Amino acid sequence: MNVLVLQEQIDRIIPEEDIEFVKAWFKKKGSFPNYRTLQQSDEKVGATLPTHSKKDIKTRTYVDTYLGKLLNSIVATLAAEKGVSFDKQTIGSKRYVSKDAKELLRSELEVLTYNVFLLEGLGNEIEVDTKKFLKTCGKIPDFLWENKKLMIEVAGMEDKDYRKKLEDGKECLEALGYTVLIIEAREFEKQSKYVKYYKKLCELFGFNLRQDVIEEPYKYLGYTEVDREFKQKYIDENINKLPLTRTTHYYLNKYINQLYGYGIKEYKNRKQLKRFRHSIDKKEIINFKTENPTMSNSEIAKHFGVSKNTVQIATVGIQGRKR
Give the model confidence (pLDDT) of 180-197 as tens digits: 999 998 888 878 899 999
- Alpha carbon separation from 59 to 35, 75, 264 (Å, rounded): 10, 16, 44
Tell me which range, 62-71, 82-91, 145-154, 215-224, is most confidently predicted by mean pLDDT.
Answer: 145-154
Question: What is the pLDDT confidence band of residue 85, given thresholds at 50, 70 and 90?
Answer: very low
Question: What is the pLDDT confidence band of residue 57, given thresholds at 50, 70 and 90?
Answer: very high
Share of the chain above pLDDT 70, in %: 81
Please check the confidence at residue 154 and state whether its pLDDT lies above 90. Answer: yes
Give the model confidence (pLDDT) of 86-144 as tens digits.
Answer: 444 444 556 677 888 788 788 889 999 999 999 999 999 999 989 899 889 988 899 99
Q: Per-domain residue ranges for the chain?
A: 7-93, 99-208, 224-268, 282-314
- Cα angle 12, 222, 156 (rounded to 5 degrees) comes to 120
Average pLDDT, the chain: 81
Q: Which residues, including other chains, have CB under 8 Å from residue 127's CB and lie 6 or more apart?
A: 143, 144, 145, 146
Among the listed residues 13, 127, 115, 131, the one whose alpha carbon sits nearest the alpha carbon of residue 73: 13
Share of the chain above pLDDT 90, in %: 28
Considering only the top CATH level, what class is 99-208? Answer: alpha beta
| Predicted local distance difference test score (pLDDT) of residue 241 | 78
Rounded to two decimals, what is the model's pTM? 0.56
* Amino acid making up residue 46: G
